[in-house]
Structure 1
Amino acid sequence: MDTGTHVVMGLALGGLATLDPIVAGSAATATSVMIGTIVGSQAPDIDTVLKLRNNAVYIRNHRGITHSIPAVLLWPLAIVAVVYPFFPEANLLHLWLWTFLAVFLHVFVDIFNAYGTQALRPFSSKWVALGVINTFDPIIFGLHVVGLVIWGVGFDPGYTFLGIYAILIAYYVYRFIRQRKVLREVRTIIPDATDIIISPTMKFHQWRVAVMNKHQFFVGRAHNNEVTILDQFARVKVPESPVIEAAKKDKNLSAFLSFSPVYRWEVDEYDNYYEVKFIDLRYRSKDHYPFVAVVQLDMDLNILSSYTGWIFSEEKLRKKLQILPN
């Protein structure tokens, strides 16, 4: 989820914790738990700072080790170790329990996005992405804000957020049902599909669809369970050519390939350089595919420039590459 949603979830868990008699009976415990849930709901996303280095490092590592099983166990211990000395009268066990819940819930809800997490590390480096909830879901965020307002005007926070989370559980189930309906429709249209990726959007009734069979890629949209195929591409295996093998050694392309499950590729030769481009097919937006990796190499296959990330115009891509126009 986005940072704002994780913040309101941390506050909500602090309110929900007032249903715990140990928390409700101690001001020190209640205050420390509130701090623990707020910090715990943000801690796994500390890897966002990697974006300050470059996109390749960020793409390869974001929601990786910081969202893994060991991290989920270690984050609460680290947070409690910092918070508890300021509140020595707090109940240590309940401080840890609610902080752990905040960290666990952060990682758990991220699994439902299309981006997903490597939550099964170290047992598996596979990305777990259920594609049911958009990274920012207005309904989830809005319900949390409503709960905070209700709390602010004097209602009991524990029962308020208990009710809200009951609604959200039903909402998640409903989203799963809607996604399954889209999946069945896709299988009707493309019965020989080998891989189907359905991703939510900001719009409640719309989904992105990317499909593969043995010979083609299909890209489309679903609206109210009605699927429309917008683009089709021949599925051509990436050749083991010297140009592409050299490009794969680049950190940006390597990061892209570690993350993207469905893409097409292009190789262009110009007067004095090659350009290799890989295009993720999951994020079609206004007839454009913005998530790409591009590598430029000289005629001796030395890497001249490269980029991976979100690009919405060819002009901006050329500026990012800071090298040869095509």
Structure 2
Amino acid sequence: MHLHDVWFVLIAVLWTGYFFLEGFDFGIGVLTKLLARDRTERRVLINTIGPVWDGNEVWLLTAGGATFAAFPDWYATLFSGFYLPLLIILVCLIVRGVAFEYRAKREDERWQRSWEHAIFWTSLLPAVLWGVAFANIVRGVKIDANKEYVGGFFALLNGYALLGGAVTLTLFTFHGAVFASLKTLGPIRERARATATRLGVVVTVLATVFLIWTQLHTGNGRSLVALIVALAALVAALGANVAGREGWSFAFSGVTIAAVMAMFFLTLFPDVMPSSLDPAWSLTVGNASATPYTLRIMTWCAGIATPLVLLYQGWTYWVFRKRIGTQHIAEAAH
């Protein structure tokens, strides 16, 4: 196996880690409007991710940086061709971070409500747009012989990609509802489980249609295995949620996200961005990668830094592992 193959796998792992962690972040943001009934409950939901949301976004920075360094042509074509949707995602992530930090700076209800609206929309939009972006990458886009995207923004809004956006939105919101039931106490925990059950049914239907469509269009034997794992894990997550096994439900919903991402990258390989104009113009792990020397340096750096980052982030989740409820908000306010 060549180093560019190794880095293709590592980038797939980084994107999987990002969507596993940021997925429930986005879900909690959406649920601040769908699940919480008052300001106190919204604060409970926000506090479940308060200590970890910024650490979760490190995975996005690492995935983007690794793509830039290991596959510069992939990075250039992706970020220039998908400029507008990626810019919208970036703006949403910036506003979302500000909203988390500034919401509690004033007691004024209008002030807090405005930032809560911002949290909702800046969680919902990226959850949709990431699905649209990855669906287009898997489907193939208009790349010419110069490795440049020559389609427009609205060419990205095709039926397959919009279905992909609906799948990621519902899957992340389901993931967030399961996480909320795992991290909260009292009535909000029970409503989170009920919400997760309803969302689980919806996402199972949407994901089944989308993944089978993907398999029929660009799939192979390896991606078929990932498809089966994804749907089986999703059904298991829904069943565990109904049975009140919240930890297992969260684990299985995470496996679902990981299997979906595995299916995406397995259908791609050895391409990184297929061309819908001519397969010969597709970007591959070979023609889009950096030099072997660059990849060797990156491998050494990743081998040293990655375990440290994983240990630190795991420690953070361990420290903030306890459940919270409205009673804790009342005590803090008092």
* TM-score normalised per structure 1: 0.28
**Higher-strand-fraction structure:** 1
Q: Which has the higher contact order (CA 8 A, sep 6+)?
A: 2
Q: Indicate the structure with greater helix content.
A: 2
Report which of the two structures shows the higher radius of gyration computed on alpha carbons: 1
